[in-house]
Chains A and B, each alone.
Chain A
């Protein structure tokens, strides 16, 4: 009675067709079916933000969706940012301001902050707080992450690459 389903989903610009069970979580689909392990799974109930991805451009918890719901939709994960050799300005900023220790929360932070910076690099204190409200960091506190977002905003507004 339970049917596996065919889905077509665009991830980081690439189209994937997969046959999956409805119970497969989107976070597990991304990690285990697409082998994109940059998306981390922390609390698994929508609190920590580590699994944040962009779903049709909007930051979304991938642990609170089923992969079948992504059929026909567009996803961006942290792998869509820079490479080891050529970091995205936001990643550079995290590195330069020491905005991570263990790095577990980092991909979630990056994906939460990215669309906000892509929309505007002129961020108020309030915008900054809002950009970060849905992500937990358990290593180091949030000051360096705030500094990183500020620095990234400067990098991205001064005509850096996107």
Chain B
């Protein structure tokens, strides 16, 4: 029996058998083609009518797309189709990049994390993307494949606006490299959503810090924010305060205020700008206190 279903507009589904085929399709179809990764965002947007692609190009099965590798020399390389759960449970990630595991684990719910991919999370370029602040503070490099071959884009240059990334026509994200962070580093991803699990970030803050004898404070920190600006952002002003002044509670407070200054949140369905403003300061403070106390323990 055929029941009447609220159907989506028609489209073709193509499982690309090679990178060249994927690139050809993306070039040929232009904006009518969308890359299908985990689909956890794309399907929602297709169903609410925001997107109506005529071709979905599934690239998850291309070589290396689901691979995670780690070497002391090159750091961590993560295929764009690695799922959040695969990332959060990988022993190298847990051991060498706990911040990244924490960020991946904070995404939505367990069932969603079995499908949602790291590449999709970054390419959607949502200001609320949970793994984007981690990519910013770990200074990740994104390798994309396209008509002109491979090129690498620093995470800092990848997010151009809400939903806009630095990919050009015919390009797709193949893998992400997180080089070895400085020795002795510690990191945290602090997030609040409307509930403890399963929600998008109202505010997300990634903090990492490491000993650095060249900094007047003997430490350097990197801070990135989610959900409080048109893109995820680094807050260099706050980082500078922490590099230049001996770390105290007051200095941490000043850095948290600098993060608040840098934030330009909006009111939306999940929270008010006013609340986000207050929370970005508080989460930055908590993250810094946490990272600082781990750093002190080993100093």
Contact = CB atoms under 8 A, between A and B. Distances in A.
Given A32-B2, A69-B58, A64 B13 contact: no
Contact of B111 (A25, A68, A69, A134): A134
Contacts of A69: 13, 36, 39, 58
Nearest to A112: B111
Size bracket, chain A contacts = 20 to 34
A130 B89 CA distance: 14
Interface string B1-32: 11101011111110000000000000000000
Size bracket, chain B contacts = 20 to 34
Contact of A2 (B7, B12, B115, B196): B12
Contact of B11 (A2, A46, A49, A133): A2
Nearest to A65: B39
Contacts of A59: 110-111, 114
Nearest to A63: B43
B199 to A, nearest CB: 9
A49 B109 contact: yes
Nearest to A57: B114
A66 B13 contact: yes
Given A22-B13, A64-B43, A134-B197, A28 B5 contact: yes
Contacts of B56: 22, 66
Contacts of A77: none
Interface in A1-48: 1-3, 5, 21-23, 25, 28, 32, 44-47
A134 B107 CA distance: 11
A23 B111 contact: no
A64 B9 contact: no
A65 B108 CA distance: 16
A58 B196 CA distance: 22
B11 A130 contact: no
A55 B197 CA distance: 22
B198 interface: yes
B112 interface: yes
A44 B198 CA distance: 15
Given A65-B39, A66-B13, A68-B13, A23 B112 contact: no
B2 A66 contact: no
B44 interface: yes
B111 A5 contact: no
Interface string B89-110: 0000000000000000000111
Given A32-B1, A63-B43, A112-B111, 9 more contacts: A2-B10, A32-B2, A55-B114, A64-B43, A64-B112, A134-B109, A134-B112, A134-B198, A135-B109
